[in-house]
A and B are shown apart, each in its own frame.
Chain A
Amino acid sequence: MKEIDARGLACPKPVVLTKKAMADNDEILTVVDNRTASENVAKLARKMKAEVTIVEEAEDYFKIMIKKTAADKVEDKAGAAVGSESESQQGKVYLVASDTLGEGDEELGKILIKGFLSTLLDIKPQPKKVIFLNAGVKLAVLEKDVTAVLADLEAAGVKILLCGTCLDYYNLSDQVEVGEVSNMYEIVDSLNSSSTVRV
Protein backbone atom coordinates (compact mmCIF):
# COMPACT_ATOMS: atom_id res chain seq x y z
CA MET A 1 0.00 0.00 0.00
CA LYS A 2 1.19 3.46 -0.93
CA GLU A 3 0.86 6.22 1.64
CA ILE A 4 0.66 9.88 0.69
CA ASP A 5 0.93 12.65 3.23
CA ALA A 6 -0.59 15.66 1.49
CA ARG A 7 -1.04 17.75 4.64
CA GLY A 8 -0.06 21.37 4.18
CA LEU A 9 -0.40 21.15 0.40
CA ALA A 10 -2.76 23.47 -1.44
CA CYS A 11 -5.38 22.32 -3.96
CA PRO A 12 -4.98 20.63 -6.39
CA LYS A 13 -1.73 19.00 -5.16
CA PRO A 14 -3.36 16.29 -2.97
CA VAL A 15 -5.46 15.21 -5.98
CA VAL A 16 -2.47 15.25 -8.32
CA LEU A 17 -0.33 13.13 -5.94
CA THR A 18 -3.17 10.65 -5.37
CA LYS A 19 -3.80 10.34 -9.09
CA LYS A 20 -0.13 9.61 -9.73
CA ALA A 21 -0.08 7.00 -6.97
CA MET A 22 -3.18 5.34 -8.38
CA ALA A 23 -1.35 4.70 -11.65
CA ASP A 24 1.14 2.32 -10.00
CA ASN A 25 -0.62 1.09 -6.85
CA ASP A 26 -3.81 -0.79 -6.07
CA GLU A 27 -4.17 0.54 -2.54
CA ILE A 28 -3.49 4.12 -1.56
CA LEU A 29 -3.85 5.89 1.77
CA THR A 30 -3.96 9.67 1.44
CA VAL A 31 -3.79 11.98 4.44
CA VAL A 32 -4.93 15.61 4.11
CA ASP A 33 -5.59 18.39 6.59
CA ASN A 34 -8.81 19.94 5.35
CA ARG A 35 -12.29 18.91 4.25
CA THR A 36 -11.98 20.42 0.76
CA ALA A 37 -8.96 18.28 -0.05
CA SER A 38 -10.65 15.24 1.48
CA GLU A 39 -13.77 15.69 -0.66
CA ASN A 40 -11.67 16.26 -3.77
CA VAL A 41 -9.48 13.19 -3.26
CA ALA A 42 -12.60 11.06 -2.65
CA LYS A 43 -14.15 12.44 -5.83
CA LEU A 44 -11.08 11.55 -7.86
CA ALA A 45 -11.12 7.98 -6.55
CA ARG A 46 -14.83 7.55 -7.25
CA LYS A 47 -14.40 9.01 -10.73
CA MET A 48 -11.75 6.35 -11.33
CA LYS A 49 -14.22 3.78 -10.02
CA ALA A 50 -12.20 2.81 -6.97
CA GLU A 51 -13.56 2.03 -3.50
CA VAL A 52 -13.25 4.96 -1.11
CA THR A 53 -13.40 4.88 2.68
CA ILE A 54 -12.73 7.80 4.99
CA VAL A 55 -10.97 5.87 7.76
CA GLU A 56 -10.26 8.78 10.06
CA GLU A 57 -11.80 12.21 10.24
CA ALA A 58 -11.02 15.08 12.58
CA GLU A 59 -11.14 18.85 12.14
CA ASP A 60 -7.73 19.04 10.48
CA TYR A 61 -6.91 15.39 9.82
CA PHE A 62 -8.54 13.22 7.17
CA LYS A 63 -7.38 9.74 6.19
CA ILE A 64 -8.75 8.42 2.90
CA MET A 65 -8.37 4.76 1.96
CA ILE A 66 -8.58 4.01 -1.74
CA LYS A 67 -8.83 0.48 -3.18
CA LYS A 68 -8.89 -0.15 -6.88
CA THR A 69 -11.49 -2.65 -8.07
CA ALA A 70 -10.76 -5.18 -10.82
CA ALA A 71 -12.70 -3.26 -13.46
CA ASP A 72 -10.98 -0.06 -12.47
CA LYS A 73 -7.52 -1.40 -13.22
CA VAL A 74 -8.51 -1.74 -16.86
CA GLU A 75 -10.21 1.64 -16.95
CA ASP A 76 -7.14 3.49 -15.77
CA LYS A 77 -6.28 4.69 -19.22
CA ALA A 78 -9.77 6.04 -19.83
CA GLY A 79 -9.57 8.00 -16.60
CA ALA A 80 -6.45 9.71 -17.83
CA ALA A 81 -8.21 11.08 -20.87
CA VAL A 82 -10.34 13.55 -18.94
CA GLY A 83 -11.60 16.46 -20.93
CA SER A 84 -11.98 14.42 -24.08
CA GLU A 85 -14.67 15.35 -26.53
CA SER A 86 -17.25 13.04 -25.08
CA GLU A 87 -19.80 15.78 -24.51
CA SER A 88 -22.69 15.82 -27.01
CA GLN A 89 -21.00 15.59 -30.32
CA GLN A 90 -24.15 14.71 -32.19
CA GLY A 91 -26.63 16.94 -33.90
CA LYS A 92 -25.16 20.41 -33.59
CA VAL A 93 -27.04 23.57 -34.52
CA TYR A 94 -25.24 25.78 -37.03
CA LEU A 95 -25.93 29.49 -36.86
CA VAL A 96 -25.23 31.46 -40.05
CA ALA A 97 -25.50 35.16 -39.19
CA SER A 98 -23.65 36.60 -42.18
CA ASP A 99 -23.29 36.04 -45.92
CA THR A 100 -19.51 35.73 -45.65
CA LEU A 101 -17.22 33.51 -43.59
CA GLY A 102 -14.49 35.01 -41.44
CA GLU A 103 -13.08 38.49 -41.63
CA GLY A 104 -11.09 39.78 -44.57
CA ASP A 105 -11.80 40.04 -48.26
CA GLU A 106 -15.56 39.96 -48.87
CA GLU A 107 -15.30 38.05 -52.14
CA LEU A 108 -13.23 35.33 -50.47
CA GLY A 109 -15.64 35.27 -47.51
CA LYS A 110 -18.52 34.56 -49.87
CA ILE A 111 -16.67 31.70 -51.54
CA LEU A 112 -15.73 30.26 -48.14
CA ILE A 113 -19.24 30.32 -46.70
CA LYS A 114 -20.58 28.46 -49.74
CA GLY A 115 -17.83 25.90 -49.36
CA PHE A 116 -18.62 25.57 -45.69
CA LEU A 117 -22.33 25.01 -46.23
CA SER A 118 -21.77 22.37 -48.90
CA THR A 119 -19.46 20.41 -46.59
CA LEU A 120 -22.30 20.26 -44.03
CA LEU A 121 -23.75 17.52 -46.28
CA ASP A 122 -20.80 15.27 -45.43
CA ILE A 123 -20.48 16.16 -41.75
CA LYS A 124 -20.91 13.28 -39.31
CA PRO A 125 -22.94 13.43 -37.13
CA GLN A 126 -25.42 15.20 -39.36
CA PRO A 127 -26.30 18.74 -38.24
CA LYS A 128 -29.61 19.04 -36.42
CA LYS A 129 -30.52 22.47 -37.68
CA VAL A 130 -29.03 25.27 -39.75
CA ILE A 131 -30.34 28.69 -38.76
CA PHE A 132 -29.97 31.75 -40.99
CA LEU A 133 -30.00 35.17 -39.37
CA ASN A 134 -29.41 38.71 -40.54
CA ALA A 135 -27.48 38.80 -43.88
CA GLY A 136 -27.33 34.99 -43.68
CA VAL A 137 -30.88 34.88 -45.10
CA LYS A 138 -29.67 36.59 -48.31
CA LEU A 139 -27.38 33.66 -48.85
CA ALA A 140 -30.15 31.14 -48.27
CA VAL A 141 -32.62 32.84 -50.61
CA LEU A 142 -30.65 34.61 -53.35
CA GLU A 143 -27.67 32.31 -53.96
CA LYS A 144 -29.01 29.50 -56.08
CA ASP A 145 -26.10 27.13 -55.40
CA VAL A 146 -26.65 27.58 -51.66
CA THR A 147 -30.39 27.02 -52.04
CA ALA A 148 -29.61 23.76 -53.82
CA VAL A 149 -27.33 22.61 -50.99
CA LEU A 150 -30.00 23.54 -48.43
CA ALA A 151 -32.58 21.54 -50.37
CA ASP A 152 -30.29 18.51 -50.16
CA LEU A 153 -29.76 19.06 -46.43
CA GLU A 154 -33.50 19.40 -45.88
CA ALA A 155 -34.07 16.17 -47.82
CA ALA A 156 -31.54 14.49 -45.53
CA GLY A 157 -33.61 15.54 -42.51
CA VAL A 158 -31.75 18.68 -41.43
CA LYS A 159 -34.07 21.49 -40.34
CA ILE A 160 -33.41 24.78 -42.13
CA LEU A 161 -34.73 27.84 -40.25
CA LEU A 162 -34.83 31.36 -41.69
CA CYS A 163 -35.32 34.38 -39.45
CA GLY A 164 -38.65 35.96 -40.43
CA THR A 165 -37.75 39.44 -39.22
CA CYS A 166 -34.58 39.31 -41.31
CA LEU A 167 -36.45 38.17 -44.45
CA ASP A 168 -38.85 41.09 -44.02
CA TYR A 169 -36.00 43.50 -43.52
CA TYR A 170 -34.28 42.47 -46.75
CA ASN A 171 -37.63 42.18 -48.62
CA LEU A 172 -37.04 38.50 -49.34
CA SER A 173 -40.12 36.95 -47.71
CA ASP A 174 -41.84 36.11 -51.00
CA GLN A 175 -38.75 34.51 -52.54
CA VAL A 176 -38.18 31.70 -50.01
CA GLU A 177 -37.85 28.33 -51.76
CA VAL A 178 -36.15 26.21 -49.12
CA GLY A 179 -36.43 26.18 -45.33
CA GLU A 180 -38.99 27.27 -42.79
CA VAL A 181 -39.64 30.87 -41.89
CA SER A 182 -39.13 30.99 -38.15
CA ASN A 183 -39.69 33.43 -35.30
CA MET A 184 -37.28 34.66 -32.64
CA TYR A 185 -38.66 32.39 -29.94
CA GLU A 186 -38.19 29.24 -31.97
CA ILE A 187 -34.68 30.34 -32.87
CA VAL A 188 -33.75 31.21 -29.30
CA ASP A 189 -35.17 27.91 -28.15
CA SER A 190 -33.12 25.96 -30.72
CA LEU A 191 -29.96 27.83 -29.80
CA ASN A 192 -30.53 27.35 -26.10
CA SER A 193 -31.27 23.65 -26.17
CA SER A 194 -28.42 22.40 -28.35
CA SER A 195 -24.73 22.71 -28.82
CA THR A 196 -24.32 25.57 -31.29
CA VAL A 197 -21.65 26.30 -33.86
CA ARG A 198 -21.54 29.91 -34.97
CA VAL A 199 -20.44 30.29 -38.56
Chain B
Amino acid sequence: MKEFKFTVTDPVGIHARPAGLLVKEVKAHASAITIATEAGKSADAKKLLALMGLGIKQGDTVTVTVDGADEEEAAAAIEKFMKDNL
Protein backbone atom coordinates (compact mmCIF):
# COMPACT_ATOMS: atom_id res chain seq x y z
CA MET B 1 0.00 0.00 0.00
CA LYS B 2 1.30 3.44 -0.96
CA GLU B 3 0.06 6.69 0.42
CA PHE B 4 0.77 10.33 -0.30
CA LYS B 5 -0.64 13.73 0.55
CA PHE B 6 -1.53 16.42 -1.92
CA THR B 7 -2.74 20.00 -1.62
CA VAL B 8 -5.16 21.13 -4.31
CA THR B 9 -4.19 24.30 -6.15
CA ASP B 10 -6.87 24.32 -8.87
CA PRO B 11 -9.15 27.31 -8.13
CA VAL B 12 -12.35 25.26 -8.57
CA GLY B 13 -11.10 22.37 -6.44
CA ILE B 14 -11.80 18.82 -7.55
CA HIS B 15 -14.97 19.67 -9.43
CA ALA B 16 -16.56 17.99 -12.45
CA ARG B 17 -13.92 18.56 -15.06
CA PRO B 18 -10.75 18.05 -13.01
CA ALA B 19 -12.48 15.19 -11.21
CA GLY B 20 -13.28 13.59 -14.53
CA LEU B 21 -9.70 13.84 -15.67
CA LEU B 22 -8.53 12.37 -12.41
CA VAL B 23 -10.97 9.46 -12.66
CA LYS B 24 -9.71 8.79 -16.16
CA GLU B 25 -6.14 8.72 -14.94
CA VAL B 26 -7.00 6.55 -11.95
CA LYS B 27 -8.92 4.06 -14.06
CA ALA B 28 -5.78 3.39 -16.07
CA HIS B 29 -4.40 1.55 -13.05
CA ALA B 30 -5.45 -1.74 -11.59
CA SER B 31 -4.90 -0.75 -7.95
CA ALA B 32 -7.70 0.36 -5.68
CA ILE B 33 -7.29 4.09 -5.19
CA THR B 34 -8.97 6.02 -2.40
CA ILE B 35 -8.99 9.72 -1.73
CA ALA B 36 -9.64 10.96 1.78
CA THR B 37 -10.19 14.50 2.98
CA GLU B 38 -9.01 16.11 6.19
CA ALA B 39 -12.61 16.03 7.37
CA GLY B 40 -12.42 12.24 7.27
CA LYS B 41 -14.62 11.63 4.23
CA SER B 42 -13.22 9.27 1.65
CA ALA B 43 -14.20 8.08 -1.80
CA ASP B 44 -13.23 5.54 -4.43
CA ALA B 45 -11.30 7.67 -6.90
CA LYS B 46 -12.65 5.62 -9.80
CA LYS B 47 -16.14 6.92 -9.13
CA LEU B 48 -16.67 10.40 -10.43
CA LEU B 49 -19.78 11.20 -8.47
CA ALA B 50 -18.29 9.93 -5.23
CA LEU B 51 -15.20 11.99 -5.85
CA MET B 52 -17.20 15.10 -6.58
CA GLY B 53 -19.27 14.42 -3.49
CA LEU B 54 -16.18 15.02 -1.36
CA GLY B 55 -16.43 18.69 -2.23
CA ILE B 56 -12.66 19.20 -2.28
CA LYS B 57 -11.75 22.87 -2.67
CA GLN B 58 -8.62 24.84 -3.45
CA GLY B 59 -6.19 24.63 -0.52
CA ASP B 60 -7.59 21.37 0.85
CA THR B 61 -5.10 18.63 1.53
CA VAL B 62 -6.13 15.13 0.59
CA THR B 63 -4.62 11.76 1.34
CA VAL B 64 -4.37 9.40 -1.61
CA THR B 65 -4.10 5.70 -0.88
CA VAL B 66 -3.05 3.26 -3.61
CA ASP B 67 -3.31 -0.45 -2.96
CA GLY B 68 -2.72 -3.22 -5.48
CA ALA B 69 -0.30 -4.95 -7.80
CA ASP B 70 0.74 -1.86 -9.69
CA GLU B 71 0.74 0.47 -6.70
CA GLU B 72 4.28 1.74 -7.21
CA GLU B 73 3.79 3.04 -10.73
CA ALA B 74 0.20 4.01 -10.04
CA ALA B 75 1.05 6.18 -7.06
CA ALA B 76 3.85 7.89 -8.96
CA ALA B 77 1.71 8.48 -12.02
CA ILE B 78 -1.23 9.83 -10.06
CA GLU B 79 0.92 12.11 -7.96
CA LYS B 80 2.47 13.53 -11.10
CA PHE B 81 -0.96 13.93 -12.69
CA MET B 82 -2.32 15.76 -9.68
CA LYS B 83 0.64 18.11 -9.53
CA ASP B 84 0.28 18.89 -13.21
CA ASN B 85 -3.48 19.27 -13.30
CA LEU B 86 -4.90 19.97 -9.88
A binds B: no
